[in-house]
Structure 1
Amino acid sequence: MPELPEVEALAAYLRERAVGRRVERAEVAAISALKTYDPPPSALAGQPVTGAGRHGKFLDLTVGDDLHLVVHLARAGWLQYRESFGGNAPLKPGKGPIALRVRLDDGSGFDLTEQGTQKKLAVYLVREPAQVPGVAKLGPDPLAVDLDAFSARLRARRGQVKGMLTDQEVFAGIGNAYSDEILHVARLSPFALTNRLTDEQLGALHAAVREVLTDAVTRSTGQKAATLKSEKRSGLRVHARTGLPCPICGDTIREVSFHDSSLQYCPTCQTGGKPLADRRLSKLVR
């Protein structure tokens, strides 16, 4: 799933490539992806692209004076930018992975695509980003929160630190992959309870959030959409590296599986050398 750094990089790429062009037309191929009906996608035609930004994991393309094409790419969605579509034939609804196509007046544009059978990519055309339910509930950007505010938000909700970092109402933009990386840098168990974290641990966690996300944004920005996924993978130290050696201590990266996801961690760096029990099998070992 694209997280804060990748969505920031996509927004930067659209600012560079699409801002200043006019929308020729927007074509919806998967009606299930479009979550709003007023204004209709046809309202984009002829309007200039005036900006691109993000709200947590939501990508926001500003069109004209007051239209916002807000996109949540979910787990399997992506943006594919094309210099040319190789023709002007309209999309056929329900055919292939394309959910939405936006054509620009120079012949370029982008497709919003989604692989797999679970279709969760969501597209909203609104006049204010806050009209999108998910955007309205977002917590603050983790890169814009100082240590005191960061600590207060975590201590206000009792829970496992992994879950709190990925709760979009607590902080906007951190997902499964970067939370694993952050906890590894902070040397914290993913199941440590937020109300039991010491001031020193909270300080280390806040510093790790800034270090990991800032580094990822720096590496991602300037990349084309087509190379962002591989760039993300190349920078990961524990996430999706089960069975490989930890780059810090050499211990074997372990995994805890859930019904639809998993997390990775280093026992030596994060849990005092003790492997965590798989949640599917037994009670968690803290």
Structure 2
Amino acid sequence: MPELPEVEALAGSLRRRLVDRSVVAAVDVAAINVLKTFDPPPTALAGLPVTGVTRHGKWLDVDCDGLHLVVHLARAGWLRWSEQLPTTPVRPGKSPLALRVRFEDLDDGGEDGPAVGPEPRPGFDLTEQGTQKRLAVHVVRDPAQVPAIASLGPDPLEDSFDVEALQALLAGSRQQVKGLLREQSVLAGVGNAYSDEVLHAARISPFAVSGKLDDDQVSRLFASLKGVLGEAVAAAAGKPASQLKDAKRAGMRVHGRTGEACPVCGDVVREVSFADRSLQYCATCQTGGQPLADRRTSKFLR
């Protein structure tokens, strides 16, 4: 699943290409189930200039002169940019294509809006692999009209997010810290992969109780949030969308590296599996050398 660094990179790429330079030529829907709103319709975006691109947690927001195309890529969704999109009509079917947005230069639109014709145009496809269709597209006048955006917690990379703010989020919580970091209403933008990375860098067990972390652990967790996410954003910046997934995998120290050596201490990276996901950690770095038990067979170790 794309998380804060990848969505920030996608937003930056679209911002450079489109803002104050392009007009929406057309929006073609291939999978009606991805649309979570109906008023305004996607066709209302046609003819509007792109005036901004930003990120809300893991949500991508393309501002078209006050009308927002807001996208959540979910687990298996992705954005694919092309300088020349196919000219063939978009048709519903078994293809992973869900939505296609075409653009043209702002100066080419004329007073009557963008020209219409069969010539190839730049733009992006939203695609989704697999059978669990969770890609979500909203067309709204205000991003806060999307309930999941309105309920987002603070962004960990905002300047206003400090160690005191993190302490306030953790205080009194009985939730395991791994789950708390992934809770978007608590902290925006962190998912399964980067929560593993942050906790490894902070040397904290994923199953430590959030409200029981001491001051030193909270300080380490805060520094790791800023450091791990900041480094990932910097590493992803400027990369084309086609390279972001591989760049994310290459930057992981423990997530997705079960059985490999921990780059810090050399111990083996271990895994705990769940029904629909898994987590990775280093016992030496994070749990005092004690392996965590799989929840399917025994109790968690703190």
TM-score range, shorter chain: over 0.9
Q: Count how many residue pairs are aligned between Structure 1 and Structure 2.
A: 284
- 2:221 maps to which residue? 205
The residue identity in structure 2 corresponding to 1:60 is D
User: Equivalent residue for 1:223?
Assistant: 239
Structure 1 contact 155–194 (Cα < 8 Å) conserved: yes
Paired with 2:245 and 2:212, the residues of 1 have a C-alpha distance of 35
User: Partners of 2:29 and 2:173 in 1: how far apart?
Assistant: 40
Q: What's the secondary structure of 1:171's corresponding residue?
A: coil
Deviations along 1:168-219, one digit per CA (max 9) or x if unpaired, are 0110000000000000000000000011110110000000000000000000
Structure 1 residue 90, shift from structure 2 partner:
1.7
Normalised by the length of structure 2, the TM-score is 0.93
The secondary structure found in structure 1 opposite 2:90 is coil
Determine if the alignment matches structure 1 residue 129 to structure 2 residue 143.
yes
Aligned to 1:268: 284
- 1:17 and 2:31 equivalent? no
Q: Tell me, which stretches of 5 or more residues in structure 1 are unaligned?
A: none
State the partner residue of 1:184. 200
Query: Which residue identity is paired with 2:102?
Result: R
Match of 1:100 in 2: 99
Runs of 4+ in 1 over 2 A off after TM superposition: none
Map 1:63-78; keep pairs closer than 5 Å. 63-64=64-65, 66-78=66-78
- Deviation string 1:87-122 (CA, Å, 9 cap, x unpaired) is 2x2200234001100011251000000000100000
How far residue 156 of structure 1 moved from its aligned partner, in angstroms, is 4.2
* Correspondences of 1:28-39 after superposition (within 5 Å): 28-39=29-40
> Percent identity over the alignment?
62
Q: Does 1:154 align with 2:139?
A: no
CA contact (8 A) 2:259 2:269 kept: yes
Question: Conserved in 1, the CA contact under 8 Å of 2:173 and 2:209?
Answer: no
Decide which of 174, 179, 201 is 2:190's aligned counterpart: 174
The Cα shift of 1:158 comes to 2.1
Q: Which residue of the partner structure matches residue 111 of structure 1?
A: 125
Q: Is the 8 A contact 2:13 2:238 kept in 1?
A: yes
| Distance in 1 between residues matched to 2:297 and 2:143, nearest whole Å | 42
Report the equivalent of 1:194.
Answer: 210
- For 2:244, give the aligned amino acid: L
Asked if the contact 1:18/1:109 (under 8 Å) is kept, the reply is no
Following TM superposition, by how much is the alpha carbon of 1:281 offset from its aligned partner in structure 2, in angstroms?
A: 1.4
3-state DSSP class of the match of 1:152?
Answer: helix
Tell me the distance in 1 between the aligned counterparts of 2:49 and 2:102. 12
Q: Secondary structure at the match of 1:218?
A: helix
